Amino acid sequence: MYKNVLRAIEDIGIYPSISLIIFFTFFIGLIVYLIIKGKDHWKDAEKLPLEDENNMNIKQSEQ
């Protein structure tokens, strides 16, 4: 049933191509973003799991 509906739509073949281009562009953009930010940007984030509860409480009370 769905195949017949999709066959009736004109130019339906362009949508898979557009989807692939959007998907590819998103991930290339994400890779470029991560490269531009560099390792220094992520230093604080990488240390978060290693902080103990005392450090977290001190930081929260300072804010």
Residue spans per domain, the chain? 2-62
| Better pLDDT: 26 or 9 | 26
pLDDT at position 24: 97
pLDDT digits (tens, 9 = 90+) for 18-51: 999 999 999 999 999 989 988 887 777 777 777 6
With 0.85 as the threshold, say if the pTM is over it.
no
- 25 close to 31: Cβ distance less than 8 angstroms: no
Concatenated DSSP letters of the chain:
-HHHHHHHSTTTTHHHHHHHHHHHHHHHHHHHHHHHHTTGGGHHHHHGGG--HHHHHHHHHH-
pLDDT digits (tens, 9 = 90+) for 11-20: 777 888 899 9
pLDDT at position 20: 93
